[in-house]
Structure 1
Amino acid sequence: MTYWDPIPIVRACVPGEPLPGNAHWVPAYSPPWGAWPDAWARRDWRNVPGPFYGAGTDTCWVGREVAPAHVLHNDDSGDEFVYRQPRDAQETYRVIAAAFQDPMAGYQCDGDERWTPELVRQWWSERGRVREFRLENGRPALPGEALPEL
């Protein structure tokens, strides 16, 4: 398996022009990328490693509507996170559409510059905490809430 880099697709998107494959996804403004300098530190722990992640998104849940194979929201606050990274151009356009519809500009695409092998190993070793917390408490964890021992 090889890594597919979606960043050239991101850079080719032009504000005011429809995203290829769907004429009603029209980015009306410059990409939200980099709007929050501290986004990496604020990212939702549910985001999977890769270039895209959610950090302080709005709770309007539109990301799940346009990119259901990639974006979910937590049940308590509605913040969106990327649970599957895109694997081709069309999937990338869907994640971009989710980002452009977030009024808080909480999506970022600099994850590949920030994930390290150690952070990925840590994420992988803790990936079961979503299921563990839900099984033990009947709901997802709230921000800052202690998770069960794995």
Structure 2
Amino acid sequence: MTYWDPIPTVRALVGQPHPLWRGDRVSRDWSAPAPDGWEQRDWRSVPGPFYAANSDNCLTGRQCAPDHVMYDDGYGSEFVYRRPRTPAEVHALTCAAECEPFGAYGGDGDAHWTPELVRD
């Protein structure tokens, strides 16, 4: 199995019209750390670059990326349960990140995952 790096696709979106929207531009580089940082990521996040840290409970993520975002607690905190494997899936996940009111998503997870964390 080969690892497909979604980060170039994410970075190419910055400042451009989002492929899933009409005219609105992507506001930030979603390959950067989450505002609350890696340490605050939801423990249920799957290994890979993307994660959510202290997201709100507006339940917007699955509207954009139902194949990648889930909330499974009483508060509706979002987490990334499946990594994107194509540009279209990256577009869906960045849509979820853009719609999350606190911008709680990060994309620097690959710099932090260790074999021990994956096993945990």
Structure 1 position 25, deviation (Å): 7.7
Query: Which of the two has higher C-alpha Rg?
Result: 1
| Offset at residue 78 of structure 1 (A) | 0.7
| Matches for 1:55-66 after TM superposition, within 5 Å | 55-66=53-64
RMSD: 1.7
Asked whether the equivalents of residues 13 and 26 of structure 2 are also in contact (C-alpha less than 8 Å), the reply is no
Structure 2 unaligned segments of length 5 or more: list them.
Answer: none
SS in structure 1 at match of 2:103: coil
Residue 4 of structure 2 is matched in structure 1 by: 4
User: What percentage of residue pairs aligned between the two structures are identical?
Assistant: 50
Change (3 A) 1:28 1:51: closer
Measure, in 1, the Cα distance between the counterparts of 2:54 and 2:21. 28
Q: 2:33 maps to what in 1?
A: 34
CA spacing shift, 1:108–1:35, aligned 2, 3 Å: closer
* CA shift for structure 1 position 105: 1.0
1:121 counterpart = 2:119 = yes
Say if 1:101 and 1:29 are closer, same or farther in 2 by CA, change over 3 A. Answer: same
Counterpart of 1:18?
17
Q: Which has the higher contact order (CA 8 A, sep 6+)?
A: 2
Q: 1:1-150 to 2 correspondence within 5 Å?
A: 1-15=1-15, 17-20=16-19, 22-24=20-22, 26-27=24-25, 29-31=27-29, 33-34=32-33, 36=35, 38-122=36-120
The 8 Å contact of residues 25 and 97 in structure 1, kept in 2 or not, is answered as no
Q: Match of 1:87, SS?
A: coil
1:77-110 deviation line (CA, Å, top 9, x unaligned) = 1110001010110001100110011111110000
1:26-80 per-position Cα deviation (integer Å, ceiling 9, x unaligned): 34522353352x4211111111110000101121111111100000113311110
Query: Which sections of structure 1, spanning at least 5 residues, go unmatched?
Result: 123-150
SS state at 2:70 partner: strand
Letter in 1 for 2:85: R
Residue pair 2:34, 2:53 contacting (<8 A) in 1 also = no
CA shift in 2, pair 1:24/1:80, >3 Å: farther
Count of residues paired in the alignment: 119
Going from structure 1 to structure 2, the CA distance change for 1:3 and 1:82 (only over 3 Å counts) comes to same
Q: Aligned partners of 2:61, 2:47: CA distance in 1, in Å?
A: 18
